[in-house]
Amino acid sequence: MKQNDLQALLGEMTLAEKIGQLQQVTGDFYTNDSAEITGPLSNNLLSEDDLKNSGSVLGLSGATDTNAVQKKYLENNRLHIPLLFMADIVHGYRTIFPIPLGLATSWNPELVKETAAVAAKESAVSGLHVTFSPMVDLVRDPRWGRVMESTGEDPLLNCLYAESVVQGYQGPANDLINNADHIAACVKHFAAYGAPEGGREYNTVNMSDRELRENYLPSYQAAINAGSKLVMTSFNTIDGVPATVNTYLNRQILRDEFKFEGVLISDWAAMMEAINHGVAEDHRDVAKQSLKAGVDIEMMTFCYHQFVEELISAKEVDEGLLDEAVLRILELKNDLGLFENPYRSADAVKEAAVVYSAEHQQVALKAAEESIVLLENKNNVLPLATSEKVAFVGPFATSSDILGTWSWKGEISETASVADVLGTDYPTAKVTISPVADVFSVTAEELAAAKAVAKNADKVVVLLGETSQMSGEASSRTSIQLPEAQLAFWDEILSVGKPVIVVSFNGRPLDLSAVSEKVTGLVEAWFPGTKGATALLNILYGKVAPKARLTMSFPRNVGQIPVYYNHFNTGRPINFDDLGNKYVSKYLDVPNTPLYPFGYGLTYTTFGYDHFKVAVEAGAEPVITCQVRVKNTGQTAGTEIVQWYLRDIVGQVVRPMKELKGFDTVELQAGEERVVTHSFTFAELGYVHHDKKRYPDHGEFEVMVGSHSESVLTTRITL
Ligand code: GLC
């Protein structure tokens, strides 16, 4: 439909029909089937008649259901304005990919984009139009359960992934009319939801506007610059004002500075929760503040429905604000081609062929293989040989709970466990399996059986972890260790005296201190998704070499939090030449450094760096060209992720000790060496100054290169 046709359509709409477009409800309002419920339920204030005008639905999918609902809806909607179907497709639809925090360790934006494109294809054919993804909240606190949805602590990587995911979902040129196997992205949660005090879910966020702009806003802006059609508000406050009713955030920053012209949708009940926060008196006040703050769609509460008409007639809200919101919603429907074809590519026959296809599962396998991080490999205990006698023991030897949360349509029942894959893919391997049924307890029989098979094995793989429900929304934890029973189990298996490899399935950086020192091999598998078990075994048996690198620091214990690589120096930094000095910024009981740092991950070989040089091409816009020679110093081929960091020695505000400014992925055969070059523009050294603007300063910089944030070569330049 042309823009002026949309304006004409808007002109035909009654006030009730316009207000209806701002309402979103779950699918069970339209069908008897159960829908995905992802928040607290309020009293339903909508009549059957109201539902004829509600603009969108969340948590309902499946071509048969969505087509049936759309058909009936269009028959009852006076102006035949189609319904929008939205849902949380966060790391895959039915083919589930590793959780985003895992996928991020691939340092492979193209692969991440491919997974989003597969998710979009499965979603579109199943009747969905919008996904509530990517979640791009920067996170430095593993106590927060939703860390599993994030891509970690680094602004640059978060921006790269935000862009990749939007491009994957929305397809070429964001042309959703001509690419009906793509869907609209909804970047969330705007803004800074990933920084709640104490890592406690839904808690207060307290940070300066400068810090917000320096580290937390860039990833939302990257998603918007990539064309994200929607933005979702967050539950938290920003500088004392809940994000959802925050005009500074949603009008000045989002609309005026970021030039966002798409739809702003509230998170579930986030509008009404302004009352709990204590900035709105009642639902009427919520409706007034939210419309003024520019929220277009109200998710699963009914304040707009109840009071917008009255607010307009009382002239407390201008009808123009309502028209703005409705027009953005109509434009979104038009961008999806729904006026021409309300069913888009929803097709039950195609759905059966496309969803969970072998081709998609291959993408899931590749994604999982590139997302599993090797943290320890003492004495080269890995890779395993099929001729070795290996015992696989522990709760995740037979558990299929490896999809993680936000895997709504993923089926645990169809997900192969490690034991399943050993049977199908490793028939000749000498393995024994001794499972533990419960993540939180180990019976005496299970322990005895596990120790017995360990005694008869050459090596023991102990498969531990969290249940998928121990991370995700509303799943903050004050202890981030493995469950006690598992730690006791691991100690018992260790006492048998064989080399032990621990594999952990989890949704957050755990405190692995109790394991890391005594273990021989240590593998972080995250929740690796549909093909996770196959990917893990392909890595353990060396069919595939690990290449993943952490995008979030692993703390030594929960007391260290927040611990992250791009920290400030402080006025009293530790001086390693004078460790006796008491009066420095440190703890009495643990080092300041994390257990495993940002950018860290082992491979089955080793790499050496030398011949590091930096040249500056002076001029108005100086260019910094770096080069380093990287050599595969091991016995087998491997992939190195060469990481480039910079430090601005003196700034108008304090600058981090290092910031990732780029990376290069190089595959080298044993003994092979390569000169890797990387150039930076002066603008890439920019940061947010007192005036809230981002630009670089001239002066001295440290340039660093290495295999992770704590292993770098350093040189200085002046710009
Ligand atoms: C939830 C989440 C949000 C999700 C929405 C719809 O509360 O905060 O990420 O997209 O509700 O399910």
What are the start-end ranges of the H helices in 259-347? 274-277, 283-293, 303-313, 319-335
> pLDDT (tens digit, 9 = 90+) per residue, 487-508?
999 999 999 999 999 999 999 9
Residues 269 and 120 in one domain: yes
Please report which confidence band the pLDDT of residue 192 belongs to, taking 50, 70 and 90 as the band edges: very high
C-alpha of residue 299 to centroid of ligand 1, in Å: 9
Compute the distance from residue 151 Cα to the ligand 1 centre, in Å: 17
276: CB partners within 8 A, 6+ apart: none
Predicted local confidence at residue 172, as pLDDT: 86
What gap in Å lies between CA 191 and CA 234, rounded to an integer? 6
- Report DSSP state, residue 182: -
* 167: pLDDT strictly greater than 70: yes
Token pair 């690990």: residue: 546
Is residue 32 pLDDT above 80, yes or no? Answer: no
Could you tell me if residue 212 is inside a domain?
A: yes
Which residue among 88, 99, 301 has the greatest number of ligand 1 atoms within 8 angstroms of its CB, and so is best to mutate?
88
* CATH number for 322: 3.20.20.300
Query: Which one is catalytic: 88, 267, 511, 648?
Result: 267
Q: Are residues 49 and 72 in the same domain?
A: yes
Same domain for 159 and 281: yes
Q: Do 239 and 217 share a domain, yes or no?
A: yes
Residue type, 230: L
Residue pointed to by tokens 């992802």? 38
Token output for 668? 């080298």
CA distance 5 to 96: 40
Q: Is 596 inside a domain boundary? A: no
Residue closest by Cα to atom 10 of ligand 1: 132
Task: Give per-residue pLDDT as tens, 512-535.
Answer: 999 999 999 999 999 999 999 999
- Residues 446-467 have pLDDT tens digits of 999 999 999 999 999 999 999 9
Instruction: From 534, 560, 586, give the residue that closes a domain.
Output: 560
Position 412 in a domain? yes
User: In which band, very low, low, confident or very high, does the pLDDT at 34 lie, cut at 50, 70 and 90?
Assistant: low
Query: Is residue 106 included in any domain, yes or no?
Result: yes
* 401 shares its domain with 535: yes
- Ligand 1 within 6 A of CB of 193: no
Question: Percent of the chain scored above 70 by pLDDT?
Answer: 100
Report whether 524 contacts 372 (CB < 8 A): yes
Residue 670 falls inside a structural domain: yes
* Number of separate domains in the chain: 4
Q: Residue 446 and residue 443: Cα distance in Å, rounded?
A: 5
Q: How far is the CA of 232 from the centre of ligand 1 (A)?
A: 9
pLDDT at 87 over 80: yes
At residue 257, does pLDDT exceed 90? yes
Structural domain that includes position 685:
607-718
CA 10 to chain centroid:
37
Ligand 1 and 472: CB distance under 6 A: no
Answer yes or no: do 75 and 92 share one domain. Answer: no
Instruction: Name the domain boundary from 295, 326, 351.
Output: 351
* Structure token digits, residue 285: 């006040």
Does residue 364 contact residue 92 with C-beta atoms inside 8 Å? yes
Cα 2 to Cα 132: distance, rounded to the nearest angstrom: 27
Q: How far apart are CA 553 and CA 101, in angstroms?
A: 12
189 and 135 in contact (C-beta within 8 Å)? yes
Q: Tell how many helices (H) and how many strands (E) occur in the chain.
A: 21, 25
Distance 265 CA to ligand 1 centre (A): 11
Reported as a single tens digit per residue, the pLDDT across 472-484 is 999 999 999 999 9
Grouping H, G, I as helix, E, B as strand and the rest as coil, residue 225 is helix
Pair 95, 186 in one domain: yes
Supply 359's token pair.
């081709």
88 lines ligand 1 (CB under 6 A): yes
Test site for ligand 1: of 268, 272, 298, 475, most ligand atoms within 8 A of the Cβ: 268
Distances (CA, A) of 352 to 563, 591, 618: 46, 54, 59
Tens digit of each residue's pLDDT (9 = 90 or more) over 396-422: 999 999 999 999 999 999 999 999 999
Whose CA is closest to 139, among 231, 229, 219? 219
Q: What's the gap in Å between 270 CA and the centre of ligand 1? A: 10
Confidence tier at 181 by pLDDT (50, 70, 90): very high
Question: Which SS3 state, helix, strand or coil, does residue 33 take?
Answer: coil
| Contact between residue 675 and residue 639 where contact means Cβ atoms under 8 Å apart | no
pLDDT in tens, 57-82: 999 999 999 999 999 999 999 999 99
pLDDT tens digits for 236-247?
Answer: 999 999 999 999
* Residue of 232, 272, 408 best suited for mutating to test ligand 1, as the one with most atoms within 8 Å of CB: 232
401 CB under 6 A from ligand 1? no
For range 629-649, the mean pLDDT:
98
Of 244, 243, 501, 478, whose CA–CA distance to 382 is shortest? 501
- Dihedral of the CA atoms 378, 379, 384, 387 (nearest 10)? -150
Mean predicted lDDT score pLDDT of the chain: 97
Confidence of residue 311 (pLDDT cuts 50, 70, 90): very high
pLDDT, tens only, 679-698: 999 999 999 999 999 999 99
Q: Give Cβ neighbours of residue 655 (< 8 Å, ≥ 6 apart).
A: 568, 647, 648, 649, 687
Residues 339 and 406 in one domain: no
Say if CB 687 and CB 693 are below 8 A apart: no
pLDDT at 713: 98
Q: Is the dihedral of CA 30, 36, 38, 39 positive or negative?
A: positive
Looking at residues 548-573, what average pLDDT do you find? 98
Mean pLDDT of 247-272: 98
Confidence of residue 297 (pLDDT cuts 50, 70, 90): very high
DSSP letter string, 630-684? EEE-SSS-EEEEEEEEEEESS-SS---S-EEEEEEEEEE-TT-EEEEEEEEEGGG
Cα of 464 vs its chain's centroid, Å: 22
Of 32, 61, 83, which one is at a domain's C-terminal end? 83
Q: Which atom of ligand 1 is nearest to the CA of 59?
A: 12
Pocket test for ligand 1, best of 267, 272, 409 (most atoms within 8 A of CB): 267
Say which residue the tokens 């292993």 belong to: 711
How far is the centre of ligand 1, averaged over its atoms, from the C-alpha of 433 (Å)? 39
Q: Which atom of ligand 1 is nearest to the CA of 39?
A: 7
Task: List the beta strands (DSSP E) in 162-270.
Answer: 184-190, 230-233, 237-238, 241-242, 263-265
Give the helix/strand (H/E) hosting 115.
helix 109-125
Taking CA atoms, 684 is separated from 304, 647, 696, in Å, by 43, 12, 8
- Tell me if 609 CB under 6 Å of ligand 1: no
Residue 37 has pLDDT above 80, yes or no: no
For residue 626, what are the β-bridge partners? 614, 678
Are 496 and 394 within one domain? yes
Find the DSSP H helices in 336-417: 348-354, 358-369
- Is residue 252 situated within a structural domain? yes
Ligand 1 centroid to Cα of residue 244, in Å, is 14
Confidence of residue 575 (pLDDT cuts 50, 70, 90): confident
Q: Are residues 219 and 245 in the same domain?
A: yes
Domain membership of residue 37 (yes or no) is: yes
The secondary structure of 78-144, three-state, reads: CCCCCCEEEECCCCCCCCCCCCHHHHHHHCCHHHHHHHHHHHHHHHHHCCCCEECCCECCCCCCCCC
Is 346 a domain residue? yes
CATH of the domain at 432: 3.40.50.1700
Q: Is residue 562 reached through a cis peptide bond, with omega within 30 degrees of 0 on the bond before it? A: yes
Instruction: Report the amino acid identity of residue 346.
Output: A
Same domain, 271 and 347: yes
Alpha-carbon gap, residue 87 to 35, rounded angstroms: 10
Give the span between the Cα atoms of 173 and 59, in whole angstroms. Answer: 27
Q: Given pLDDT bands bounded at 50, 70 and 90, which one contains residue 620?
A: confident
Overall average pLDDT of the 528-549 stretch: 98
- Residues 410, 555 within the same domain: yes
* pLDDT in the model for residue 578: 82
Q: Which atom of ligand 1 is nearest to the CA of 135?
A: 9
Confirm whether 267 is a catalytic residue.
yes
Q: Is 438 helix (H, G, I), strand (E, B) or coil?
A: strand
